[in-house]
Structure 1
Amino acid sequence: MFIDTHLHLIDQSRLAYPWLSGAGDLNRDFTYPEYAQEAKRLGIEAALHMEVDVATSDIEVETEMVRSLAETQGDLIRGVIAACRPEEIGFADYLEKCEADPFVKGFRRVLHVVPDDISEQALFRDNLKRMGGSRLTFDICMLERQQPQAVALIDSAPNVRFVLDHCGVPDIVSGALESWEKGIAEIARRPNVMAKVSGVVAYADPESWTVETIRPYVEHIVSSFGWDRVVWGSDWPVCTKGGGLSTWVGATQAIFGPCSADEREKLYRGNARRLWQI
């Protein structure tokens, strides 16, 4: 059984998604019923909704939309990783509000779609430090070339619990491994960081990737972080770019099938349950 720590739902009738106009096949609604039918057949028992980089004015609206869905038909949904803007003055009040809301499990600010120096700003880092010691996590979504910025951000807030999204977004199509591996190993040295095994099928060649294509990236994440510091996510519907939810679950099972039941339990659901109190 899996806990999916990275589910995206898209409803363009209720929210604005500025990035979708250039997103090809992703530029449509992706609903909970569509996800849930397949997810339940695959053994996914719970899910966290991951913010979908909505317009800033819709950040809190997105959380309320997912909450309403969870209360009515979203029986798999256990909470949200909400969008945030640590570079803005109003973050402190927003943080206080979210800390009091058990449905909010953490934050994410997508950092590869903004200038690199956003995360280097004093206000951004001071606001991030405010999360130190709280139950909320902060997902890091940065490209491989931004690994130095990721390390600097983590080091600026040692009391914040970070989650590295999508295996650190490796450039799988290029086949390059060495520089990514070194950067991942360096990030993993920070004990306040966990890694999310997710997203990699979307970064491989959609026509030719196999389990062996993605295996070295996934296995390096686990060997670097260890079994107690990894969680699993679908990255649905972005994973449809690499074959879909069933394909990704199948690849996951092919890679980790030989591992012990205890190791699989930690990756598939145990660590997520502990980290986010699911």
Structure 2
Amino acid sequence: MTIDSHQHFWKYDAKTYPWIDGTKEILKKDFLPDNLKPVLKKNDIDGCIAVQASHSIHETEFLLYLAENYDFIKGVVGWLDLRSETIEDDLKNLSKNPHLKGIRHIVQAEAKDFMLCPDFQFGISKLHQFGLTYDILIDHTQLEEAIQMVEQFPEQKFVLDHIAKPEISKGIDEKWRTNIENLAKNPNVYCKISGMVTETKNNDWKHANFNPFIETVVSAFGYDRIMYGSDWPVSLLACSYKEQFTILENYSSNFSAENRAKLMGLNAVKFYNL
């Protein structure tokens, strides 16, 4: 099974998605399952994981509704306020829906040490009992903080989104490489090779720009803890779906059939319990 482990759906409105600013005009419209379904089919992808893009319980409920009505949406990574005093009840209620696979918070927009706050960590501590994963959305400057967080929860399944958003156009930063290697020492942490095309200067890139970053991630996490994600439709800011998919297709062309299958879907199936 081939799985796109990271994409988004939304009915666009500026209040719900303030991060879609004037530099992202092409995203200021609805992106829904009927838009993605033929794209996945054209690229021989069997299904996807729909990931939250707003701190909104209403968006999460909308994504779960979509998953109930489109069988190619294999799971949802939603949002709940992990700092809420009612987080246990909130998780209990929302996790009754079998399509909910994990939770994500847009930490890249938060203040320093947000992941180390006791109320946030209390919320993280409750995910495991409900069988939920946690997607880590940060940029490369927050990796050390993420390492400190995940070390507190060895039983919790984490996945790093977008390889922590390094500045691709500047080439490998040794601090990023070291932090990726240190994060990967935690066996409960996976990594999505996703979101790279929009981390290039002016969205201008060549395949060779990504190879050292992919190589670092594969070396650190191994073949059993990496997964492909498109970040569609955000990726459309830089290229077509096929163009970003080809980056990993080409890179993994010398993988064994087994390891390529892990990257392209089996690891996502295992991680999200699809």
Q: TM-score with structure 1 length normalisation?
A: 0.92
| Corresponding residue number in structure 2 for 1:43 | 44
Deviating above 3 A after TM superposition, structure 1's stretches of 4 or more consecutive aligned residues are 205-208
Distance 1:247 1:142 in 2: 24
Cα 1:13–1:199, aligned 2, differ >3 Å: closer, same or farther?
closer
Q: What is the deviation of 1:133?
A: 4.9
Alignment equivalent of 1:94, drawn from 66, 86, 90: 90
Q: Which of 121, 125, 130 is 1:125 aligned to?
A: 121
> Over the residues paired in the alignment, what is the CA RMSD in angstroms?
1.9
**SS of the residue aligned with 1:231?**
strand
Percent of matched pairs sharing the same residue:
30
Q: Which residue is 1:3 aligned to?
A: 3
Letter in 1 for 2:18: P
Contact 1:231–1:268 (8 Å) recurs in 2: yes
Secondary structure of the residue that 1:256 maps to in structure 2? helix
Stretches of structure 2 lacking an aligned partner (at least 5 in a row): none
The CA deviation at 1:50 is 0.2
- Per the normalisation by structure 2, the TM-score is 0.93
Secondary structure, in 3 states, of the residue corresponding to 1:112? helix
Aligned to 1:113: 109
Tell me the SS of whatever aligns to 2:6.
strand
User: In structure 2, how many angstroms separate the alpha carbons of the residues matched to 1:268 and 1:165?
Assistant: 15
Report the secondary structure of 2:3's partner residue. Answer: strand
Deviation at 1:250, TM superposition (A): 1.1
Question: Which is further off, 188-197 or 26-35?
Answer: 26-35
1:162 paired residue among 152, 155, 158: 158
Superposition deviation, residue 22 in structure 1? 4.5
Per the TM alignment, residue 87 of structure 1 is displaced from its structure 2 partner at its CA by 2.1
CA offsets per residue over residues 25-51 of structure 1, 9 Å max, x none?
222222222211111100110111000
* Total equivalences in the alignment: 273
Choose 132-141 or 76-85, whichever is displaced more.
Answer: 132-141
2:92 & 2:65 partners in 1: Cα distance? 21
The C-alpha deviation readout for 1:171-212, integer Å capped at 9, x for no partner, is 112224211111100000011101111111111235541111
Structure-2 separation of matches of 1:193 and 1:207? 28
**Counterpart amino acid of residue 238 in structure 1:** V
- Correspondences of 1:169-248 after superposition (within 5 Å): 169-206=165-202, 208-248=204-244
Instruction: Specify whether residues 93 and 195 from structure 1 end up closer, same or farther in structure 2 by C-alpha distance, changes over 3 A only.
Output: same
Distance 1:172 1:13, change over 3 A: closer
Question: Partner residue of 1:65?
Answer: 62
> How far apart are residue 277 of structure 1 and its match?
2.3
Confirm or deny: 8 A CA contact 2:7 2:231 kept in the other structure. yes
Task: Name structure 1 gaps, 5 residues minimum.
Answer: none
